[in-house]
Amino acid sequence: MEDSKTKNNENYLCPSYVAKPGAELFGIINSNGHVDYLNTTIAINEDFIARANKGRTPEKRFRFAGNCAKSGCKQWKNHECGLVHDIVEIIENPVSEALQHCPIRQRCRWYMQRAEQACAQCNEVVRNIETQLTQQQSIEETTT
Ligand code: SF4
Ligand code: SF4
């Protein structure tokens, strides 16, 4: 039987990935700042990245997925992704009855760790949330 440690050692996708060749485009940030999820993922190439870089930062306009770097990522703590726990704690959206479609759900590390709670926050996430969280944590540390 699989335990959580075994699962965390498996290769899941990070849903907060950068725009680089081979990454999978799975969502587009709409005019409300929320994510519209694609039916299926699209592997991006150099051409896409060159075109996307002509506008605002691609990671602010699209959502990409790629292999979770695990211990190679600064968000990896105690054998799992710490970022999704912070996102659930800070955004605090309730879980909705109808889970939105997402083309990477079965491979998503955040879903593997926090299931519907992760998905309830996810459509408000743009990749620079890491920066926002880091800034918020710094403010909290200096005011406590
Ligand atoms: S630890 Fe979290 S933020 Fe880092 S690559 Fe994995 S899923 Fe992404
Ligand atoms: S957290 Fe949920 S909605 Fe977000 S990428 Fe993972 S499976 Fe998709």
76 and 82 Cβ atoms separated by less than 8 Å: yes
Tell me which residue of 48, 70, 63, 66 sits closest to 102, measured CA to CA.
63
Ligand nearest to the backbone CA of 122: 2
Nearest CA to ligand 2 atom 2: 119
What is the model's pLDDT at position 15?
97
Could you identify the residue written with the tokens 């306009």? 61
Q: How confident is the model at residue 10 (pLDDT cuts 50, 70, 90)?
A: confident
pLDDT digits (tens, 9 = 90+) for 54-95: 988 899 999 999 999 999 999 999 999 999 999 999 999 999
* Residue 104 Cβ contacting ligand 2 at under 6 Å: yes
* Ligand positioned closest to the Cα atom of 14: 1
CB of 113 within 6 A of ligand 1: the answer is no
Q: If 0-12 CB within 10 Å is exposed, 13-18 middle and 19+ buried, where does residue 101 land? A: exposed
Pocket flag, ligand 1, residue 14 (CB < 6 Å): yes
User: Using a 6 Å cutoff on CB, does residue 83 contact ligand 2?
Assistant: no
